[in-house]
Amino acid sequence: MPDELLDWFESQARDLPWRATREPWSILVAELMLQQTQVSRVTERWPRFLVRFPDPSVCAAAPVADVIDEWSGLGYNRRAVNLHRAATAITIEHDGRVPTDLGDLLALPGIGPYTARALRVFAFEIDDAVVDTNVARILARTLNRTLKPAEAQREADRRVPADDGWRWNQAMLDLGARHCSSKPVCVDCPLSEGCSWFASGCPDPDPAIGSASVSTKQSTFAGSDREGRGRLVRQLRSGPVAVGQVNDVLGWPNDPARCRRVLDRLVGDGLVAFDDDEVSLPAGP
């Protein structure tokens, strides 16, 4: 039912600033920011990030610490490190231009199947299909069965109208966010007439649960390793921390084994550097 969905999108589309551009670097930044970060927060921070890092070469030339600093408040800091690494690869391997080939995009650090296809669709208007948690729910409910990743991608691909992939994918994302969410609102949904789950009365279990790309509830943040990681990175934005104070900053002064495990993971993720005396954000580009 492509006409119904696209007609709905024309009147109900969200006003998102990155939809006004086809500039690949800008869209890459937006897509990485939007991973597990509220749209309203990204809308506020995306323009500021691009002022500071307007293209891949500027980002690649900057210290990793500067990118992490600008990422503050946007979720996992590891994504900032991956963005810096991707910018470096784009600068060195692709002459500073974001590639269009799917294989080249997937080879970039931190770029998975969704982000690679989102770049092809939203920057280059290639008729790929993007499958995130919103789209995956629509597919599973429409077919009234859970889907494995490859099947979900195939189902999404075959629905994309020729030469209209940009609008179609944006419409699917908006529909998943507004109607086919974790608590679906089927009234006035433009795809309800073709939805097998809706036609059967929306019985339990919801076919979207456990289907490919559908996110699950995240573990509790309070007391988690993620909380400690965040505390240390926030402190490091103000300057290095003496090695003897790291356990206190992490929040587990009486659990040195846990602190060392978390610190080692931060080093492995490229988020911190440390020597015998102090821990700091990475200094080099």
Instruction: Output the pLDDT for position 93.
Output: 97
| CA torsion through residues 126, 127, 131, 132, sign | positive
- Does pLDDT of 281 surpass 90? no
Active-site residue, 70 included: no
The lowest-confidence range among 15-24, 89-98, 99-108, 230-239 is 230-239
Tell me the per-residue pLDDT of 45-100, one tens digit each, with 9 for 90 and over: 999 999 999 999 999 999 999 999 999 888 888 999 999 999 999 999 999 999 99
pTM of the model: 0.85
From-to residues of CATH 1.10.10 in the chain = 225-280
- Choose the catalytic residue: 23, 31, 125, 227: 31
CATH 1.10.340.30 domain position(s) in the chain: 23-122
216 SS3 class: coil
Predicted pLDDT at 48: 97
Mean pLDDT of 199-213: 90
Structure tokens of 23?
A: 């500039």
Structure token pair of residue 179: 């109607």
The encoded tokens of residue 251 equal 């929040």
Average pLDDT over residues 126-143: 95
- Whole-number average pLDDT of the chain: 91
CATH of domain 23-122: 1.10.340.30
According to the model, what pLDDT value does residue 141 have?
97
Listed in sequence order, the residues at least 6 apart from 97 whose beta carbon sits closer than 8 Å to its beta carbon are: 24, 90
CA 228: distance to chain centroid?
Answer: 22
**Tell me, which fold does domain 1-12+127-217 have in CATH?**
Endonuclease Iii, domain 2 (1.10.1670)
Q: Which of 90-104, 105-119, 168-182, 246-260 has the lowest mean pLDDT?
A: 246-260
d(CA 71, CA 79): 9
CA atoms within 13 A on the CB side of 165: 20
HSE toward the beta carbon, residue 168, CA cutoff 13 A? 21
Tell me the fold of 225-280: Arc Repressor Mutant, subunit A (1.10.10)
Considering the chain, tell me which residue range(s) the CATH 1.10.1670.10 domain(s) occupy. Answer: 1-12+127-217
